[in-house]
Amino acid sequence: MTIPCDILVFGGTGDLALHKLLPALYHLFREARLNNAVRIIALARRNLPRNDYLKLAERHCRAQIARNDFDEEVWQRFSARLDYFAMDAAQSADFGRLARYLGEPGGLTRIFYLATAPNLFVPIANHLRIAGLADPEARIVLEKPIGHSHASATAINEAIGAVFEETQVFRIDHYLGKETVQNLMALRFANALLEPVWRNSQVDHVQISVCETLGVENRGGYYDRAGATRDMLQNHLLQLLCLVAMEPPAQFEAEAVRDEKVKILRALKPITGQDVQDTTVRGQYGAGRIGGQEVPAYYFEKDVDNDSDTETFVAVQAHIDSWRWAGVPFYLRTGKRMARRSSQIVIQFKPVPHELFNGGQVNQLLIQLQPEERISLRMMTKSPGKGMRLEPVDLDLNLAQVFGQTRRWDAYERLLLDILEGDSTLFMRRDEVEAAWAWIDPIIKGWEEHFQAPRPYAAGSNGPEQANSLLAHQGRHWHS
């Protein structure tokens, strides 16, 4: 059972709140994970009566929650804890009204979840301070992206740090809440079998891919300012890279884990100037077919400029200057409107020193994050019959089957529970965010200086052909 608290969700009528946060809180409530004194208060500008908001919330939650998981009686009890408060997050006076509405804490911890645009993070924090709501027990949750550059991220962090202590700040990246991502740490640090081969002497290269079939949906205005690099590479992919490459922490504790992740970000070899032409590829999807349906080119999407040069695909060859990983390339790739939806990490091992049999292939560890959560180790084995004909066979761990799960926890359920319990292990620390931007900024600057425009690729394909060349000239290829 978690602490008694008020959970205040700024941006309470937005997609994140309605599609992710409220369903996650419903599931936590259904499983008796929430304290009996918990209140959930959605805040937004729309002037909605509480009953109208409850109808809106129920409609969206029914759409997001599996039919056999939505219990009418549970929803009635859950919605009794749900309230709506109309206010403008940019207006200081509205925070005075909010303070009067909330009353004295009375032993409750207040959790402020900022499911808003990043440009509202600082004003909201300052208004909370002025209204006397940013007390030492409060917690504030910031959604990615934190800024759009190193300078802007630093400015946001400094402003938030002037109101809240670092221990009160939870910078959320929902990828870190995925079961398989957490299993990656268990796989690495709880199994003596893998530790001796988790290094440059045995690993040929690493691939980290997050591919989506969706376009920009209703996020065209935001996405056209951000692009794949700021939206995905700077946070999701670099966080996965850190978990693959980090050294074992002294103990499984928030600061020790985050210390090791920061070391990896600081060890990333900078990509500057003309290096961007050899080690990065930008792309932008054109018209094509996804699932048998024609879809428009990116520049015809809603709220996107017709002459936009924003990248919807990015691939990068990265190197980590450390003893463990010297000489091992890390290939990072993310894109929209790709051939299939898939998030995966591939650890490609080197071949055996002396090949005894014809047709042998190298071993490979595949960690699948979505659409399924599974871990597969590809081994070579003899095919039945005469002769030594080898075939690759996967030692396959399907987490849902092994543990008999009737329902997989959503990443937001785990992370919300961690926030309620005050556990910041799976959240980004200030120096993590800034170190990631310090590596990303020179790449973006290099593109601008050398006029590296996005390469076109058809929707429903595997991205621009130049991304294949990034690996092909070294005799490698993307895992499909």
> Could you tell me which residues are annotated as the binding site for substrate?
174, 178, 212, 231, 336
Peptide bond into 105 cis (omega under 30): no
Tell me how far CA of residue 191 lies from CA of 126, 166, 194, 373, 375, in angstroms.
46, 33, 6, 19, 14
Burial 90-99 (b: 16+ CB within 10 A, else e): eeeebbeebb
AA letter at 409: W
Which CA distances in Å does 26 have to 18, 153, 406, 416? 11, 32, 17, 11
Distance CA 30, CA 79 (A): 12
Output the six-digit token pair for 112. Answer: 């402020």
Separation between Cα atoms, residue 67 and residue 51, nearest integer Å = 23
Q: Is 60 a catalytic residue?
A: no
Q: Are 257 and 249 in contact (CB under 8 A)?
A: yes
Is 174 in a helix, a strand, or coil? helix
Print burial letters for 55-73: b (CB count within 10 Å at least 16), e (below 16): ebbbebbeebbeeeebeee
**Closest-CA residue to 365 (of 376, 374, 373):** 376
How many other β-carbons are positioned within 10 Å of the β-carbon of residue 160? 23
Catalytic residue among 27, 60, 150, 236: 236
DSSP percent split of the chain into helix, strand, coil, nearest 5: 40, 25, 40
CA distance 351 to 202: 8
For 329, the token pair is 């390339």
Whole-Å CA distances, 169 to 63, 142, 164, 319: 31, 8, 7, 30
* Alpha carbon distance 461, 286 (integer Å): 10
Q: Which parts are annotated binding residues for NADP(+)?
A: 45, 144
Strands 342-349 and 203-211: antiparallel
- H-assigned helices in 386-476: 399-402, 411-421, 430-449, 465-472
The Cα 10–Cα 28 span in angstroms is: 20
Strand partners, 290: 293
Which residues are catalytically annotated?
Answer: 236
